[in-house]
Amino acid sequence: MSGLWVVGLSHLTAPVAVREALAKGIRDVGALRELLGLSEAALLATCSRFELYGVGGDPQAAIRVFEEAAGRDLSPYLYLRHRRDAARHLIRVASGLDSWIVGETEILAQVRAAYSEAVAVGTAGRTLHILFQKSLEAAKRIRRETSLAFGFRSIGGAAALLARKIFGDEGRLSVLVLGAGAMARSTVRHLSAKGVRRISVANRTRGKAEALAAELGGTVVDFDGVLDTLANADVAVFSTGASRPLLDRAGAARAVAARGGRPLFVIDLGLPRNVAADAAEVEGVYLYDLDDLKRMVERQRDERLKFAAPAFRLLESAAADCWVRIGSGPAVLCAVEGNR
């Protein structure tokens, strides 16, 4: 039987500062597999969680590597699951049952991306092929056959709702988004659907910014000069893969001064964080990061879990089936594209 395990931390066990420290230090799943002597490995790294799925090797060694990368003791935050429990965990994650917005839609694509990366770099073998394929299949079924998806279903939806609550008049709202990844797109799509028309997009890859701006009827601004554009924005959404803050206290102060003191609402969806914490000390700057959004949606999470019993029954059945498949010997595996 497979020596499958997962070690990681998530929004349920660790604050954003701890998740950020780990995300900064580890990014290469191929290097991790080689360092730890694993036969297979996949890395699931999102704004809400950081998890290594391994086959073989010693998970305690992975914990030591995590702690070295984060520069701190992670024992209060980490979880370790083995064998069938590891399979159950990934299905729960992929279906959105472990998300802070229960049933959220972004995690499925993130799990698929983690699997695709492992396949592309050659760190996925038979066990992880079955694990990820069965988890993706189960997650789709759980979404299709249960009623988890009421209210907003994504981090982007929560961020957009927060912006609308503060400013109210969507038609007059000016939004600047830095980044063109899944969460940035989700946020501005939600805002656009509610009537926001003044949207500017900046991304290091200009083609991605142009595509998102064209979809929403927005404009493209130069990424290198984007901080100058803050003066014209009521809401700035930061969602890039930058390893260090793009906006600090001094930059925030300049933006507010250029706005004549009008408030600037900043949503930081980055991990590592894109905005320095001291930017919030500037009068007129209202900074919300992932932990703030989490607190905002916790009440809805509890409400959704009340209706999740059918989803958990499907989860248990899928986990049992997945583990039987892993332990049953050679299997015919579909290509990654088959799980899109």
pLDDT, residue 183, reads 80
Name the burial class of residue 205, with classes exposed (0-12), middle (13-18) and buried (19+) by CB atoms within 10 angstroms of its CB: exposed
| pLDDT of 149 over the 60 cut | no
> Using one digit for the tens of pLDDT, what is the confidence trace for 59-94?
999 999 999 999 999 999 999 999 999 999 999 999
| pLDDT of 260 over the 50 cut | yes
Topology alike, domains 4-148+307-339 and 155-295: no
In the chain, domain spans: 4-148+307-339, 155-295
Task: Using alpha carbons, select from 135, 145, 224, 133 the residue that is nearest to residue 178.
Answer: 224
> Using one digit for the tens of pLDDT, what is the confidence trace for 106-132?
899 999 999 999 999 999 999 999 999
The whole-angstrom separation of Cα 196 and Cα 205 is 24
- pTM value is 0.72
User: ∠116-122-125 over CA atoms, to 5°?
Assistant: 85
| pLDDT of 52 over the 70 cut | yes
Choose the catalytic residue: 47, 101, 111, 256: 47
State yes or no: is 47 an active-site residue.
yes
Domain 4-148+307-339 in CATH 3.30.70.260? The answer is no
C-alpha dihedral (206, 251, 258, 264), degrees to nearest 10: 80
Least confident of 162-171, 182-191, 268-277, 331-340: 331-340
Average of per-residue pLDDT values in the chain: 87
Question: What would the mean pLDDT of 18-39 be, rounded to a whole number?
Answer: 92
| pLDDT of 101 over the 80 cut | no
pLDDT, residue 304, reads 67
Percent share of the chain, pLDDT over 90: 54
The whole-angstrom separation of Cα 105 and Cα 334 is 23
User: Which homologous superfamily does the CATH classification assign to the domain defined by 155-295?
Assistant: NAD(P)-binding Rossmann-like Domain (3.40.50.720)
